[in-house]
Amino acid sequence: MPHPGPPTTQPPILAPHEIPPGVQEVILPSGERALAYSTEPAPAPPPLPVPAPPAAQPIPAWAKSTALLAPTVGGGVAVAAVGLSAAAPGLEAASHVLWSTVAVIAAGGAAAAALIGRIKARTTAAHRPHITQHITSTGLFGRANGTINHR
């Protein structure tokens, strides 16, 4: 088999900026070019620029007032809960009194309505006219005739 001869010039495998860090292009003893991992430490990437620290912003007034009101509102709720727990027996007794008062008012209203109805019936019975009606008709679809008597 004939020897291929002197190595010919080959175009690069990748452009230099496309080769990842830690990899380099090498020429093999046969004359071919290849990519290989390098045993040398890869050059350190350039340090990133450190951004300037943000300027201190003043705290808005609404945030300050909210921060001051939050413990106050919480404390008020706690004090109200303690007050209600202390007043619970008295509130329960007051609710019983109110319900019994409502029952007495309802019963009194019903009794008053019955009494007023009886009194009104007695006074109007003497003045009320007695009305009688007599209605007659002939046949199933006959015309009805009637008389009304006031006594």
Give, in order, the Cα–Cα distances in Å from 111 to each of 5, 104, 108, 116, 119.
Answer: 132, 10, 5, 9, 12
Q: What is the 3-state secondary structure (H, E, C) of 46-106?
A: CCCCCCCCCCCCCCCHHHHHHHHHHHHHHHHHHHHHHHHHHHHHHHHHHHHHHHHHHHHHH
End-to-end CA distance of the chain: 152
pLDDT higher than threshold 90 for residue 135? no
Q: What are phi and psi of 36, to 5 degrees?
A: -145, 155
Q: pLDDT tens digits, residue range 51-99?
A: 888 888 888 999 988 898 889 999 999 999 999 888 888 888 999 999 9
pTM for this predicted structure: 0.29
pLDDT for the residue numbered 103 = 94
Mean pLDDT taken over the chain: 82
Paired sense of beta strands 23-27 and 33-37, if any: antiparallel
Q: Rounded to an integer, what distance in angstroms lies between the CA atom of residue 114 and that of residue 107?
A: 11
Q: Rounded to an integer, what distance in angstroms lies between the CA atom of residue 60 and that of residue 72?
A: 19
pLDDT for the residue numbered 108 = 93
Least reliable range by pLDDT among 4-18, 43-57, 112-126, 130-144: 4-18
pLDDT higher than threshold 70 for residue 42? no
pLDDT for the residue numbered 1 = 52
Beta bridge partners of 144: 137
pLDDT higher than threshold 80 for residue 38? no
Q: How many CA atoms lie within 13 A of 66 on its CB side?
A: 5
